[in-house]
Amino acid sequence: MNLTSKKAHRKLSLTHYIFIGIFLGMLAGWLFGETILPFADPLANVFLRLLRMIIMPLIVFSILSGVLSIGTGKSLGSLGLKTFLYYIISSMLAIFTGQILVNIFRPGVGAELGLQKEVEQIATADQDFMDFLFRIIPENPFQSLAAGDVLPVIFFSILLGYFITRLKSQQRTTLTDVIDGAFEAMMKLTHMIIWSAPLGVFGINARIVATTGFDAFKSLGFYFAVVLLGLAIHAFFNLPMLLRLVARVDPIKHYRGMFPALLTAFSTSSSMVTLPVNIDCVTRNSRVSKKVAGFLLPIGATVNMDGTALYESVAAIFIAQVYGIHLGFGQQLIVVVTALLASIGAAGVPMAGLVMLSVVLHAVGLPLEGVGIILAVDRVLDMFRTTVNILSDSCGAVIVARLEGETLEGMGTAIEEDSRD
C-alpha cells in the first residue's frame, strides 16, 4: 500500500468508526434503556473531559499563534473584517431560510399543544446586549481562563498577540517560537484525543436514546421537520453555494474531510467541545493554514451559529402561530435581528439556543411560556443545529483562507504531519 492510500485509509477509518459508534450507541440505548448507562456514561465522560481539558489552552495558543503569523495590524484588520462579513452573511442566509419556511408551512397554526413545562423551570437569558458586549473585556483574564469564559479570553489573546508582534525582533522571535511550539503540541494532543471519539460517541448517543422521551415528536413533528428542512437547505445549498461562488472550491471535497467534527458536534451538541476536532479537520483535511483556522474557529465556535440563528427565528414564529398571534412585517424584522443577536450571544454549549430564545420572544412581545412548548424536542434539535454551526464555521475558515490567497491544495486528502504555519 503506498503512503497516500494508507493515509486515506486511516482517515476513512476514523470516520467509519465514529459512525459505527453512533449507530451502536443508539441501538444499545434503545435495546437496553437506562441499564446501559453504567457502561455508557464512563465512555462518554472520558471523551468529553479530554476534549474540555484541551479547549482553553488550545484557544489561547491558537489565537496567539494566529495573530502572530498574521503579523501587522492592517492584515489583522483585513482578516477580521472578512471573518465578520462571513459570519453576518451566512447567519442572515440561515435566518431568512428558516423564516421563509416557517411562514410557508405554518407548522404552529391550529397545533394542539399543551404546555410541556412550567416556564419557571426554564432558564431565561439576560436580555441586555450592551452588557454582553462589556463582558467581552475581561476584568481578570486569568479568572476568565479558569472559568472557561471564552470571549474575554479571545479578546485578551488577540491584544496580547498583537503587542507581541510589536516587540523587538529577538523577543518577538523567542515568544513566537514558544507559542507556535505550544500550539503544535496542543494539536498533536487533540489528534490523539480524537481517536477516542468512536467510544465517546457510543456512550453519549446511548444515553440520549435511553433517556429521551420520543412521544413529544408526535405533536411537535411538523415544527421539528420545518427546522430540519431549513438546516438541510442551509447545509446542502446555502453554504455549498458560498463555497463555490466565493471560495471557488468543491464543497464535496471540503465536506468529506469534516465528518469527525460534524459527528462530534452531532453527538455532543456543543460547538465549544467540538472546537478541537474542528481545527484538526479543517487544517489536516481541508488544508487551511493554522493561521486562519486558529484565528477563525475559536471565535466562530462562540459567535457564528447559523443553525442556532435559523432555529431561533423558526421557533419564535412557530410559538406566535401556536398562540394565534399574527406577526407583521416589522415584528418579523425584529425576529431577524434578535435571532442574529441571540445566536451571537449563545454560548457553544448544549441547549444554549433555547435559553437565548427568551430574548427573541421578549423582543416581539410573545409569552415566555412559549419556550415550554418546544422544550420536549429541543435536545434532539440541538444535535442538528450544532452540526450546522460547526459546518458553517469550517466553511468560513475555507472561504477566508481562499480570500487570503491560500491555495488549499490537496483538500480532501488527509495529511499526517502538518508543519505549515
Binding residues (CB under 6 A) for ligand ASP: these are: 269-271, 305, 308, 346, 348-353, 382, 385-386, 389
The minimum distance between CB 22 and ligand ASP, in angstroms, equals 17
Task: Name the percent of the chain in helix, strand, coil, to the closest 5.
Answer: 80, 0, 20
The minimum distance between CB 309 and ligand ASP, in angstroms, equals 9
The minimum distance between CB 346 and ligand ASP, in angstroms, equals 5
- Sequence-distant contacts of 326-333: CB under 8 A, at least 24 apart: 327/364, 331/364, 332/99, 332/103
C-alpha cell of residue 128: 441586555
Cα 351 to chain centroid, rounded? 12
Q: Which is nearer to ligand ASP, 67 or 391 (CB)?
A: 391
The minimum distance between CB 297 and ligand ASP, in angstroms, equals 13
SS3 at position 326: coil
* Residues whose CB falls within 8 Å of the CB of residue 375, separated by 6 or more in sequence, listed in order: 116, 117, 122, 354
Q: Which is nearer to ligand ASP, 14 or 351 (CB)?
A: 351
The minimum distance between CB 127 and ligand ASP, in angstroms, equals 18
The minimum distance between CB 201 and ligand ASP, in angstroms, equals 16
Q: Which is nearer to ligand ASP, 88 or 137 (CB)?
A: 88
Q: Which is nearer to ligand ASP, 251 or 350 (CB)?
A: 350
Q: Which is nearer to ligand ASP, 70 or 371 (CB)?
A: 371
Residue nearest to ligand ASP according to CB distances in the complex: 353
The answer to whether the CB of 99 falls within 8 A of the CB of 314 is yes
C-alpha cell of residue 58: 488550545
Report d(CA 354, CA 350) in Å as an integer. 9
The answer to whether the CB of 296 falls within 8 A of the CB of 400 is yes
* Residues whose CB falls within 8 Å of the CB of residue 270, separated by 6 or more in sequence, listed in order: 348, 349, 350, 386
Report d(CA 121, CA 136) in Å as an integer. 28
* Residues whose CB falls within 8 Å of the CB of residue 263, separated by 6 or more in sequence, listed in order: 15, 18, 19, 22, 197, 201
The answer to whether the CB of 125 falls within 8 A of the CB of 355 is yes
Q: Which is nearer to ligand ASP, 351 or 364 (CB)?
A: 351
* Residues whose CB falls within 8 Å of the CB of residue 330, separated by 6 or more in sequence, listed in order: none
The minimum distance between CB 313 and ligand ASP, in angstroms, equals 12
Q: Which is nearer to ligand ASP, 280 or 382 (CB)?
A: 382
The minimum distance between CB 251 and ligand ASP, in angstroms, equals 21
The answer to whether the CB of 260 falls within 8 A of the CB of 14 is yes
Conformation bin of residue 324: beta by default, left when phi > 0, alpha when psi is -120 to 50: left
Q: Which is nearer to ligand ASP, 269 or 321 (CB)?
A: 269
The minimum distance between CB 387 and ligand ASP, in angstroms, equals 9
Q: Which is nearer to ligand ASP, 36 or 351 (CB)?
A: 351
